[in-house]
Amino acid sequence: MPHSPAVQPLGTLVALGGGDDDAMLALLCDMLPKPGLPVEIITVASRDDTRSARAYERALRELGCVGARHLRISEHHPADAPDTLRRLRRASLVFFSGGDQERITDFLLGTEFLRVLLERYQQEPDFIIAGTSAGAAVMPEFMVVEGYGWRALRKGGMLTSNGLGLLPRLLIDQHFVERGRFGRLAHALLAHPMCLGMGLAEETGVIIRQGRHAEVFGDGVVMVVDGRHLTGSNLGRIGRGEPVSGQNFVVHLLVAGQVLDLHSRRVPDTEEV
């Protein structure tokens, strides 16, 4: 099972649904207490990791984050290398790029690197972890790794796996509106009914402060699907390839500036936050 924070974390997570991430990068630079602080870019999700890292280094430095550097983790660069861990302990911001989220977990689950990342996220108020696309989907306790179109609404047509465990009882799906992923997220909640599902449109994301308050930013919509009161699930009674069923999903559509309380699963009035 993934590691899950035992107490309310002090750090901040920023997750984007993919697409053009210029606005997110500018937001991250503005969130840093000082522009020269160390920013570590992790592109392990991409097989062309060096090219992707160069583009992010250039973009962040142009925005004033002069401490942005590529922290390479790959087949030949283990996450627990002493210099890699040293840089992780100094970083003010750790950014995960897009690609294949399973590559992130393949290289990080069970490592000292992940233990240090979680510890800093839990204990340090100024520490920021950010990710776009796959880098966003990998953050919670679970992640959706397969599921396409109508097949996602048939048993066996959707698959989840362990994420990094930064956010317990949560699923984040990316490119959500553009790739028609409601079906696979709903199916994932049938498999994990105590989880909250969060579908991020491209160029749209959330800033999650202290593991609780998720503020929407960007030009699109965040769809939140709550399966906590789910009834009528047939998942345990049907065979592979048969259509799935469930009732009483609760759905919210949220736009920039709105805040979701991840504990109560409500959208409180501004004065309540």
Residues tagged active-site: 133, 175, 202
Q: Is the dihedral of CA 127, 20, 173, 255 positive or negative?
A: positive
- Residue 80 corresponds to which tokens in the numbers above? 């627990």
- Residue 139 corresponds to which tokens in the numbers above? 């953050």
User: What's the half-sphere exposure (Cβ side, CA atoms, 13 Å) at 255?
Assistant: 2
Q: Which residues of 77-112 are buried (b: 16+ CB within 10 A; e: fewer)?
A: eebbeeebbeebeebbbbbbbbbbbbbbbebbbebe
How many C-beta atoms surround the C-beta of residue 164 within 10 A?
Answer: 25
Angle, vertex CA 204, rays to CA 200 and CA 209, nearest 5: 85
Closest to 84 measured CA to CA, from 38, 124, 129, 51: 38
